[in-house]
Structure formats: C-alpha cells, structure tokens
C-alpha cells in the first residue's frame, strides 16, 4: 500500500520493487482506499496506444487495506465494444475521460494521442457530472446534431452520442440506446473482475484467500455447490440479496437456503443448475423466476449456473451467479402508457360519436334506440378504461396505502358476486362459490380485496365458453387464507405465461369478441402485493386456467 510494485502478469523483473507512489493511480486509490479510474494516457512502451489504469484496493477480512491491484486496460477494448453499438445512420459514439480527452471513437482509430474536447460546451457539462440531450449545430458538417451525453458515475468519465437530427427524429424509439450504453459501461466495469475470476479459475485455485477477498467486491451473488448440492462458497453479495449470512449458508443444502420458483405457478425452478452439472455447460435461468429471501419477501432473479470441473474434466459441482433483475425487467417491459391508452380510447370514442351522429339523424325509433345503445356501451368502455388507468397511475406512483381492518370474507365474496352477476348472466356462465363460514375473517383492506377478486373472476368469466362454470373455493391453511378461481376457458399459451401480469397484456388467443384493456391482472397482482399476499396460476391452452391467491390472516 506504500506504492511498491510486488508482482505483474507481464514479465518485467526490473520493475519489481520499484516505488510508484508518485503515479496518478496511486494518488487516487490511496485517498480513501476506494476503486479509482485514472485519465487516459499513452504508455511509454507502446506510445501509439492509450490505456486507462483501474486501481482496486485489496482489503483483509477486517477491512484493513493491504494494497491494491492495478489493471492497465487498453483503450482498444472500449473501441471494440462501442463498435458494436448501433446508433443509426450517420451516428457515432465516443468516450471522454476525466480531462475531457476523447479516448475512444466509434469510427476513428485513436493512435498516437488524444483529442482535447474540454472546451466543447456539452463536454464541459458532462465533466461537471451533468447529463442531457441537446440539439447542437455543427459548423463543419453544416447541420444540426442531436447530442446525448452522460457521465460514468464516480469515475469522471463520460459518453457522448451524436446523430444528425434528420435521422434521430425519424427514429426516436432508438434513442433508448443511450440507456443501454450507460448500463453496458457500468456492467463492463463491475463485471470485468467476475469474468476474470471465472476465466482464470484453475490458475487461481491455489490462492483461496485472495479469491475470497476478490469475491467480496462482486455485486452479484456468487454461490458454489458440490455434487451433493451442499454450499461450499458464499460471497457477501449473496448475503445482501438473500438475507442469509455466510455462517448460515455454508455446508447447508442449497435448496434449503436459496429457493428459486417460477412466478406463474410457484413451482421450484433449478433446471438451469441441473443442466450445468449434467451437461457441463453454462445454463441460464428462464424468464419469470423469483427468489424467496430469508424474510419471505420475493424479488425477480436472473443469471446463470456454470459447471465446476476437476483436472480430469469431471463435474465436481457448479457455481451459481444471481442478481436482482426487477429494474431490468421494468426497463425491458417499458411502454408508453399514454400512447397505448390513446390507442385504446380511440376506437370506443369513434364508435360512440358515430352512433350518436347516426341516432341524431335517424327517424326510425327502433334504429335510433339501437344506435344509442351502441353509443352507451362504447361510453361504458371508455369509463372502465379510464378507471383502470387511474388505478394503474396510483399503483405506479406508490400512492395507495392499504387500510387494514377485520373483514368477514363472506361479505367480500357477496359484494364481488353482486358486481359480476350481470356479466355472468349475459355470457351464460355460472359462478359456483363454495360455502364459506360466516365467522371466517381476515385483517385486510376490504376495498382492495374486493377489486382484486373481481378482476380475477371477471377475467375467468370473460374467457369461459357459453354454459361453462367458474369455481371459487376458499380454505384456511395455517396462517393464510387460500383462494382458488378455476375456469375451463381458452387457457394461456405457454410461451406467453411469463408476461401475464404485465401492463396491457392480452393473450394472442383472446378472440375479437372479448374486449378488454389488459390491465385487470396487473391491478390484481399489485393489490395482492400491497395486502402482503401472493398470486400464481396454472394454465393449459384449450383447457382453462386456475388462479391461486394466498393472503395473511393477520
């Protein structure tokens, strides 16, 4: 930690023992013994090519600084990476270091020096930690460009994307590349150490103590198991994500500590780990997998499992990497609610106006009445969609506060049935509710529970065939109230089941006669979560769907 070089993976014995405390990277990392990234510079041994030094402190188990590891990252790595980023016709990506030097450009080889961009207005903002999108006139090209810039947090670097306005405004949906670019940069910095650990596993097997220190700095949970599925390695992030300490996890069966389940049917999902052990290849989690934490809460999980092989190539276990992907899923499923709602409203509004105009001109009373009935039905559709959009807005803004109080469940069922009876009769569907004790009560929000059950049962009625029966059963299991709603309708295609609870989801087999806005199940799941419960389902296309809801009694 005094700045004396101890070892290098590049043979240079004359450098070992030399003091480098005068260097920028030493001055940076030794201030607070936190990771430090230097500005770009040209190496003396290879003056044509630039590098960036990344200094990462090495600490003991009691957090005492022992020194630091220095990585000289060649800038052509970043150039190769941004070459694969598509920003459309005429666009370009370049990277700026903390001095305002352009160190990597998508279409230009950076050899023999860097271009100083520190005087450019957008670069000055970027160096101050600002981010934004501006339209800037380029006098050289004699045209306006859309310039998007954003800093790399904590390290002073930044990224700028430039594209002619004539291209950018014609393909606005591609502007999400900015978010992908920033995310990929962060992933590159955090994930590089993990990649090196996996890549050089055999070489560093004899250095277990140092491996332990490196593992503690990885942001993803990393767990290793033997062939008997007992946990042999557990890093700090695994504790943060799951809530289990290393002492609680080591030596225990993996499936007792970490529980991966499919969201749609709440069945255990460890097939990707079994594939890694049996097939001897990296296997990834499927979409829609939940991790149950120690406190019983659930998060969306993702990542992979890779086999651990001995010297003879035989599998001796697996290493599982996992992380919380809730924000990634939210980003992936991003849609414009305003645009979609406008599209959904356009049809009934047009239909209502058309029939009202026809009714105003129609002299035949029967035909006038028919037109007015159609217009009335269209207005009801608009009203229902508006109410659903208000509910979704409240959910997204976290403005709903459940008011819990003792509630008789039979009163909830009675209210739901009264709301759904007219629709059921209109569709010739019978709702069979199993008898419930008048004394059965739970501590919940009556209004939210009624709305949640109504959305699920309404969904079952809509997708049931003529003359079908929707069954509703309730029972107490321990400290939970379990509700089962089963129909024999169309069912949900298997490949679409992972997205059933997302906004505006409608199965591809819903049929034109079943109008809807695709918000009911999204609202139902959100309300169940607010009430501390869980929802899952089983479904087979052509045979029907069964939803299961569990709610805490107290």
| pLDDT mean over 514-538 | 83
Q: pLDDT band for position 325 (50/70/90)?
A: confident
User: pTM surpassing 0.85?
Assistant: no
What is the sign, positive or negative, of the torsion defined by CA atoms of 70, 71, 74, 79?
negative
- pLDDT of amino acid 484: 95
Give the whole-angstrom CA distance, residue 513 versus residue 465. Answer: 12
Tell whether the model's pLDDT for residue 382 goes beyond 60. yes
Give the whole-angstrom CA distance, residue 6 versus residue 103. Answer: 29
Give the whole-angstrom CA distance, residue 199 versus residue 185. Answer: 20
Give the whole-angstrom CA distance, residue 141 versus residue 300. Answer: 47
| DSSP per residue, 70-104 | EEEEEHHHHHHHHHT----TT-EEEEE-TTSEEEE
pLDDT tens string 166-191:
887 775 656 667 777 887 777 777 77
- pLDDT of amino acid 334: 46
Average pLDDT of the chain to the nearest whole number: 83
Give the lowest-confidence range in 67-76, 350-359, 424-433, 529-538: 350-359
Asked whether the beta carbons of 163 and 181 are under 8 A apart, the reply is no
Which residues, at least 6 apart from 377, have a Cβ–Cβ distance to it below 8 Å?
A: none
pLDDT tens string 270-304:
888 988 888 888 888 888 788 889 888 888 888 88
Please report, rounded to a whole number, the percentage of residues in the chain having pLDDT higher than 90. 28
Give the whole-angstrom CA distance, residue 362 versus residue 371. Answer: 9
- pLDDT of amino acid 267: 85
535 sits in which H/E element: strand 534-540
Asked whether the beta carbons of 369 and 396 are under 8 A apart, the reply is no
Q: pLDDT band for position 431 (50/70/90)?
A: very high
pLDDT tens string 56-83:
999 999 999 999 999 988 888 888 888 8
- pLDDT of amino acid 336: 45
Strands (E), 107-156: 115-116, 132-138, 143-151
Which range, 79-93, 330-344, 347-361, 470-484, has the best average confidence (pLDDT)?
Answer: 470-484
- pLDDT of amino acid 444: 92
State the first-to-last Cα distance of the chain, in angstroms, to the nearest integer. Answer: 56
Give the whole-angstrom CA distance, residue 89 versus residue 167. Answer: 7
**Residue 414 Cα distances to 167, 302, 440, 524, angstroms:** 58, 41, 13, 18
- pLDDT of amino acid 206: 62
- pLDDT of amino acid 360: 78
**Residue 138 Cα distances to 86, 135, 141, 343, angstroms:** 21, 10, 6, 38
Q: At what angle do helices 520-530 and 365-396 cross, to 10 degrees?
A: 40
Which residues, at least 6 apart from 165, have a Cβ–Cβ distance to it below 8 Å?
A: 135, 143, 144, 145, 146
Which of 460, 518, 513 is CA-nearest to residue 489?
Answer: 460
| DSSP per residue, 158-214 | EEEEEEEHHHHTT-GGGGGHHHHHHHHHHHHHHHHHHHHHHHTTTTTTT-HHHHHHH
- pLDDT of amino acid 149: 93
What is the sign, positive or negative, of the torsion defined by CA atoms of 32, 34, 39, 41?
positive
Locus of tokens 């992972």: 498
Tell whether the model's pLDDT for residue 129 goes beyond 80. yes
Give the lowest-confidence range in 66-80, 140-154, 536-550: 140-154
- pLDDT of amino acid 302: 84
DSSP assigned state of 108:
B
**Within 10 Å of residue 471's Cβ, how many Cβ atoms?**
16
- pLDDT of amino acid 347: 66
Q: Output the 3-class SS for 436-496.
A: CCCCCEEEECHHHHHHHHHHHHHHHHHCCCCCCEEEEEEEEECCEEEEEEECCCCCCCHHH
| DSSP per residue, 341-354 | HHHHHHHHHHHHHH
- The full length of the chain comes to 554
pLDDT tens string 432-478:
999 988 888 899 999 999 999 998 999 899 888 888 999 999 998 88
DSSP assigned state of 499:
G
Q: Output the 3-class SS for 246-311.
A: HHHHCCCEHHHHCEEEECCCCCECCHHHHHHHHHCCCEECCCCEEEECCCCCEEEEEEEEEEEECC
- pLDDT of amino acid 253: 92
- pLDDT of amino acid 158: 92
Tell whether the model's pLDDT for residue 512 goes beyond 60. no
**Within 10 Å of residue 546's Cβ, how many Cβ atoms?**
18
Give the whole-angstrom CA distance, residue 414 versus residue 436. Answer: 11
**Residue 228 Cα distances to 222, 235, 252, 277, 375, angstroms:** 18, 20, 10, 11, 66
Q: Is 174 exposed, middle or buried (0-12, 13-18, 19+ CB in 10 A)?
A: middle
| pLDDT mean over 349-378 | 73
Q: pLDDT band for position 341 (50/70/90)?
A: low
Asked whether the beta carbons of 245 and 257 are under 8 A apart, the reply is no
- pLDDT of amino acid 438: 87
Which residues, at least 6 apart from 43, have a Cβ–Cβ distance to it below 8 Å?
A: 49, 50, 51, 72
- pLDDT of amino acid 487: 92
- pLDDT of amino acid 48: 66
**Residue 56 Cα distances to 25, 42, 60, 378, angstroms:** 10, 21, 13, 63
Which residues, at least 6 apart from 319, have a Cβ–Cβ distance to it below 8 Å?
A: 198, 222, 223, 224, 225, 233, 305, 306, 308
Tell whether the model's pLDDT for residue 146 goes beyond 80. yes
């Amino acid at each position: 930690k005094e700045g004396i070089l101890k070892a290098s993976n590049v043979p240079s014995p004359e450098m070992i023992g030399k003091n480098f405390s005068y260097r920028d990277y030493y001055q940076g990392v030794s201030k607070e013994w936190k990771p430090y990234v230097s500005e770009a510079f040209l190496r003396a041994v290879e003056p044509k090519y630039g590098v960036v030094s990344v200094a990462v402190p090495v600490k003991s188990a009691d957090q005492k600084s022992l020194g630091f590891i220095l990585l000289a990252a060649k800038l052509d790595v970043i150039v190769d990476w941004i070459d694969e980023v598509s920003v459309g016709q005429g666009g370009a990506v370049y990277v700026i270091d903390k001095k305002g030097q352009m160190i990597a450009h998508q279409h230009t080889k950076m050899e023999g020096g860097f271009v100083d961009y520190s005087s450019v207005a957008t670069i000055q903002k970027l160096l101050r930690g600002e981010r934004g999108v501006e339209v800037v006139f380029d006098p050289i090209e004699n045209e306006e460009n859309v310039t998007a810039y954003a800093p790399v947090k904590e390290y002073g670097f930044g990224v700028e994307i430039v594209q002619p306005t004539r291209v950018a405004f014609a393909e606005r949906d591609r502007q999400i590349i900015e978010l992908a670019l920033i995310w990929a940069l962060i992933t590159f910095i955090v994930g590089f150490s993990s990649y090196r650990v996996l890549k050089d596993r055999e070489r560093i097997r004899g250095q277990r103590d140092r491996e332990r220190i490196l593992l503690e700095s990885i942001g993803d949970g990393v767990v290793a198991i033997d062939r008997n599925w007992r946990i042999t390695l557990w890093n700090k992030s695994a504790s943060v994500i799951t809530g289990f300490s290393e002492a609680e996890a080591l030596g225990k069966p993996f499936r007792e500590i970490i529980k991966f389940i499919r969201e749609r049917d709440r069945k255990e999902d460890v097939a990707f780990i079994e594939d890694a052990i049996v097939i001897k290849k990296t296997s990834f989690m499927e979409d829609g997998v939940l991790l149950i934490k120690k406190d019983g809460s659930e998060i969306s999980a993702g990542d992979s499992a890779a086999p651990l092989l001995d010297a003879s190539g035989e599998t001796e276990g697996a290493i599982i990497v996992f992380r919380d992907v809730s924000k990634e899923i939210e980003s992936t499923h991003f849609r414009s609610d305003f645009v979609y709602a406008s599209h959904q409203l356009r049809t009934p509004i047009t239909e209502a106006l058309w029939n009202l105009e026809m009714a105003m001109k129609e002299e035949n009373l029967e035909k006038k009445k028919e037109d007015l009935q159609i217009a009335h039905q269209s207005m009801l559709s608009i009203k229902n969609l508006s109410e659903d959009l208000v509910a979704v807005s409240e959910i997204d803004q976290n403005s709903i506060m459940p008011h819990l109080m003792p509630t008789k469940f039979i009163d909830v069922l009675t209210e739901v049935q009264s709301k759904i009876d007219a629709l059921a009769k209109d569709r010739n569907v019978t709702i069979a509710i199993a008898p419930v004790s008048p004394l059965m009560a739970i501590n919940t929000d009556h209004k939210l529970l009624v709305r949640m059950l109504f959305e699920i049962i309404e969904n079952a009625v809509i997708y049931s065939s003529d003359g079908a029966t929707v069954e509703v059963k309730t029972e107490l299991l321990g400290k939970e109230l379990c509700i089962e709603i089963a129909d024999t309708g169309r069912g949900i295609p298997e490949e679409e089941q992972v997205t059933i609870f997302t906004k505006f989801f409608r199965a591809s087999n819903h049929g034109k006669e079943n109008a809807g806005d695709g918000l009911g199940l999204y609202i139902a799941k959100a309300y169940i979560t607010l009430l501390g419960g869980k929802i899952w389902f089983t479904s087979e296309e052509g045979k029907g769907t069964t939803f299961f809801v569990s709610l805490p009694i107290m």
